[in-house]
Structure 1
Amino acid sequence: MALQWIILTYVVAAEAAIALLLTVPAPKLLKKRFVSLISFILQPCLFVVPFASFQLLDLYWKNEHRLMCTSEICTAAERDRYERSIYKAQGNMILCVAACFLYWSIYRICKFYNEIQSLEEVEKRYKDE
């Protein structure tokens, strides 16, 4: 199970780096090629959304079927273990949401950039006429 979270962590880190590179000012030609490369890669990388969604469902199921340790019969070690599992699940939930949000952000940034390029081309054609 830990391998899934490591993979998702690396994916989120890569998405964050890509989002940062897309938003950093760059020369027009370099930016255009980088956006086209990322747009080309986005479709195969769509697996991130169902993967993160499945992980969220898994977290929800585990949360609903988790043994509660809130009574006074629980030992301190059991209570600490329960609290750590809750904190770990919350962190993993944030990771899943971040993966979906970053994918959507990258998609929208690329789409906006492509729309701006097409509008600039239309403007250039009108100026030439």
Structure 2
Amino acid sequence: MGLQWMILTYVVAAEAAVAILLTLPSPKLLKTRIVSLVSLILRPALFIVPFAAFQLLDIYWKNEHRLTCTSEICTAAERDHYEKSIYKAQRNVILCSAACLLYWSVHRICKCYKEIHHLEDIERRYKSQ
């Protein structure tokens, strides 16, 4: 189970780096090359959305079927283990949400840059006529 969360962590870190790279000011030629490269990567990287959704379902199922430790019979170690598992589940929900949100953000940034480039081409054509 740890490998899945490690993969998701690396994907979120990569998406955050790409989002920062896309939003940093840079020369126009470099920006168009970066946007075209990221646009090529976006379609295969769409796997992250169903992967994160599956992980969210897994967290939900485990939360519904988790043994609660709220009675006085529980030892301190069992109570600590229960609280630690709750915190890990909350962290993983945030990680899954961040993966989907960052993917959507990168997709929208690329789409916006492509639209701006298209409008600039139209403006250039009208000026040349």
Give me the whole-angstrom Cα distance separating, in 1, the residues matched to 2:91 and 2:126: 52
1:75-129: CA deviation from partner (whole Å, max 9, x where unpaired): 1110000000000000000000000000000000000000000000111111111
Q: Counterpart of 2:88?
A: 88
Q: CA deviation at 1:72?
A: 1.0
Counterparts of residues 90-109 of structure 1 (less than 5 Å): 90-109=90-109
Counterpart amino acid of residue 81 in structure 1: H
1:18-66: CA deviation from partner (whole Å, max 9, x where unpaired): 0000000000000000000000110011000000000000000000000
Give me the whole-angstrom Cα distance separating, in 1, the residues matched to 2:71 and 2:108: 48
Counterpart amino acid of residue 12 in structure 1: V
Residue 121 in structure 1 maps to residue 121 in structure 2? yes
Counterpart amino acid of residue 82 in structure 1: Y
Counterparts of residues 1-129 of structure 1 (less than 5 Å): 1-129=1-129
Moved over 4 A (4+): none
Counterpart amino acid of residue 62 in structure 2: K
Give me the whole-angstrom Cα distance separating, in 1, the residues matched to 2:38 and 2:4: 24
Give me the whole-angstrom Cα distance separating, in 2, the residues matched to 1:2 and 1:40: 29
RMSD of aligned Cα (Å)? 0.4
Matched residue count: 129
Using structure 1 for the length normalisation, give the TM-score: 0.99
Q: Secondary structure at the match of 1:30?
A: helix
Using structure 2 for the length normalisation, give the TM-score: 0.99
Query: Percent identity over the alignment?
Result: 74
